[in-house]
């Protein structure tokens, strides 16, 4: 597609349930990032995939969060045993891999609400 696609656009889940968020990056983009945006807050880095390299997981807030990227394309962010503080907009971005030249292209995000 022409842009970064995220699904679902909205997700309401009960506390304690697991959720999976999906990101389809722009074709050919080797770098993929997940960020979290809480109400009135900036963008909090979660995880970064670059090609076949080991991902940078330094931003994941707890071991309940994990992400994978299959075939260097689609990525799934999984949150296990969701908590109310996990409620936020989860944004995925992709880039050609050289951030200083191309910047990120963001998707529209998945709004997660944990009730």
Closest listed residue to residue 33, CA positions, set 90, 110, 88: 90
Tell whether residue 35 is a contact of other proteins (CB under 8 A).
yes
Q: 41-59 burial by CB neighbour count: b if 16+ within 10 A, else e?
A: eeeeebbbbbeeeebeeee
Span 37-66, contacts to other proteins by CB under 8 A: 40-43, 45, 48, 50, 56, 59
Q: Which stretch binds other proteins (CB under 8 A): 13-21, 62-70, 72-80, 92-100?
A: 92-100
Q: Which stretch binds other proteins (CB under 8 A): 60-68, 70-78, 80-88, 96-104?
A: 96-104
Site residues (vs other proteins, CB under 8 A): 4, 33, 35, 40-43, 45, 48, 50, 56, 59, 91, 93, 97-100, 103-109
């Amino acid at each position: 597609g022409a842009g970064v696609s995220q699904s679902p656009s909205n997700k309401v889940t009960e506390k304690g349930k697991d959720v999976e968020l999906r990101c389809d990056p722009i074709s050919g983009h080797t770098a993929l990032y997940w960020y979290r945006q809480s109400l009135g807050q900036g963008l909090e880095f979660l995880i970064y995939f670059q090609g076949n390299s080991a991902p940078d997981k330094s931003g994941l807030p707890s071991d309940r969060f994990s992400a994978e990227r299959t075939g260097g394309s689609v990525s799934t962010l999984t949150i296990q045993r969701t908590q109310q503080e996990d409620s936020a907009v989860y944004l995925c971005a992709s880039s050609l891999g050289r951030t200083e030249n191309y910047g990120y292209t963001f998707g529209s995000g998945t709004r997660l609400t944990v009730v």
